[in-house]
Chain A
């Protein structure tokens, strides 16, 4: 470490004020081309991903659009208190947790079951066909998917009601989209329809790596098909299952805005009002920006906490986490 006096002396002697021999400065100068390549894009990340945190200050004042945050009246935690005494927000938390838990758990089990089934198919062309078809909905938008859901569930001529009536399972058409009781289920099932084929790929990849000798050994020991699936295939993909389960904990506060918004309507709002929907419909649209920001902060912090927990657990399980 050079002293200030030495630096001044060095400058006087015509040397630059930075110690060019300092390894860090030297590396920066050597790597200036790499820095030029990355710096502009890092500024984009800073602006679009980190700058919004500055907006969090809105939650602690009475912010009105068109004015400055500094001119707004400071109200402390009033907006947070308002949120937690708002019955609709409490409903929104319940709906978010219910929707995401149901969606994640059913999606998970469905993907594993599908992978186990596809893995048991011996005919390669049939296997390929099933896979090709099952990925397809993953690539379409939720707008198109929600159109399909509405069409299929329509009480007047939807295919689901037609089939249910034909089979005699119901006496009259069920108004699926008009009743909040069905909403969580519709979100879970439409999520499976759209994503199950895609989510199964990870497990199929894990199954492809299983040593065939394990099956031979199980066979010799007299294990049948089911037994082999339970004793060889399932334990072999267990590490993959664990990691994905843990990673999903981080998304518990995220009910999936597009899907829920596109499937929600005034008659099922009691169940479809998730935190995102609540902020969008009942804060942003009605100009209650400070209130909405307070909820957003709560949501971001809880999500961050959940991800830290899942990161900690995944480090415990396999030695390395997501960060």
Chain B
């Protein structure tokens, strides 16, 4: 509307003509943005190409956007008969599902209570929660605490410590505060309990922000690597996909040179072999795929969350 009217107005007074400056600026911007897209996308496309290319063939280089010698061998090696990776995929999936469900439930409860203006401890508990965004007890005290709580090499360490995220609570609270208070008042007059109000009225009305927070937490859970390394890295039953991928990166950095030389000399026998680099590419693709599949939702709801996120404590 605005744009159209302003265009008509400008053309009416003769300001619509394109100047040389316009052309130059447009040209620079388009070139730059196209370059940015290439730089962003290329590493992904290149990784996908290498993951589908014969490992030995990849050593000679020159794979850019398309596999030269197509094979599924790299994926086969990871997904078939590799219990460590299957277990890692299972753990990553479990922590993502259970961690996000529990965290969203907790966030909803806390955010709802803090959104009620008459709540007796609102003024005390809001800063109590917000402060945790800016303060940390430090790596070692937290580690000692986890040890004392028996959370080392325990699946719960993925779920419990990060269950309450102050930022998520603030985002959800500001959304719930936007729901008309009269709805809550009316339900109260009808004798509804707080639980009924929360799960019967607030919950269905907050679905957009719940979707946002669920995705926030789920992406964080799926991508999380540090907690595995710190608290559960020594237990092969509890390692995650990100952790296994990182291990592969570290080992392939030191092995790559020696390996590639050895495999070059193996000739035909090496046709079906894999290299650390090709396995790593395939693992990367597996680690990124869930993100790519949910990307349309991520984009929609994350941006919603970000615009909601202009909240203050």
Contacts and interface: CB of A to CB of B under 8 A. Distances in A.
Whether both chains belong to one complex is answered with yes
Interface string A289-300: 100110011011
A323 interface: yes
Contacts of B280: 147
A264 B30 CA distance: 35
B29 A120 contact: yes
B138 A52 contact: yes
Given A140-B223, A159-B42, A117 B32 contact: yes
Contacts of B306: 201-202, 205
A182 interface: no
Contact of B40 (A50, A193, A292): A193
Interface in A121-156: 121, 126, 129-130, 132-137, 139-144, 146-148, 150-152, 156
B93 interface: no
Given A45-B128, A143-B246, A28 B120 contact: yes
Given A117-B32, A193-B40, A300-B136, A34 B161 contact: no
A215 B163 contact: no
A242 interface: no
A223 to B, nearest CB: 10
Contacts of A4: none
B140 A292 contact: yes
B43 interface: yes
A226 B249 contact: no
Interface in B106-122: 106, 109-110, 112-114, 116, 118-121
Interface in B22-76: 22, 25-26, 29-30, 32-33, 36-37, 39-44, 46-47, 61
Contacts of A51: 137, 145
Interface in A177-223: 193, 197, 201-202, 205, 212-213, 215-216, 219-220
Contact of A323 (B127, B139, B298): B127
Interface stretch (B83-91, B265-273, B283-291): B283-291
Interface residues of A, number: 92
Q: Interface size for chain B: under 10, 10 to 19, 20 to 34, or 35 or more residues?
A: 35 or more
26 contacts: A31-B118, A31-B120, A33-B195, A41-B163, A41-B164, A55-B137, A118-B33, A130-B36, A133-B36, A135-B299, A135-B302, A139-B291, A140-B223, A141-B224, A141-B242, A143-B223, A143-B246, A146-B246, A147-B47, A151-B46, A193-B39, A205-B306, A205-B307, A212-B6, A300-B135, A300-B137
Interface of A: 24, 27-28, 31, 33-35, 37-38, 41-42, 44-45, 47-56, 58, 114, 117-118, 120-121, 126, 129-130, 132-137, 139-144, 146-148, 150-152, 156-157, 159, 193, 197, 201-202, 205, 212-213, 215-216, 219-220, 224-226, 250, 257-258, 261-262, 265, 276, 279-280, 283-284, 289, 292-293, 296-297, 299-300, 303-304, 307, 320-323
Interface of B: 2-3, 6, 9-10, 13, 15, 19, 21-22, 25-26, 29-30, 32-33, 36-37, 39-44, 46-47, 61, 106, 109-110, 112-114, 116, 118-121, 125, 127-132, 134-145, 149, 160-161, 163-164, 193-195, 198, 219, 222-226, 242-243, 245-246, 249, 253, 257, 280, 284, 287-288, 291, 295, 298-299, 302-303, 306-307, 312-313
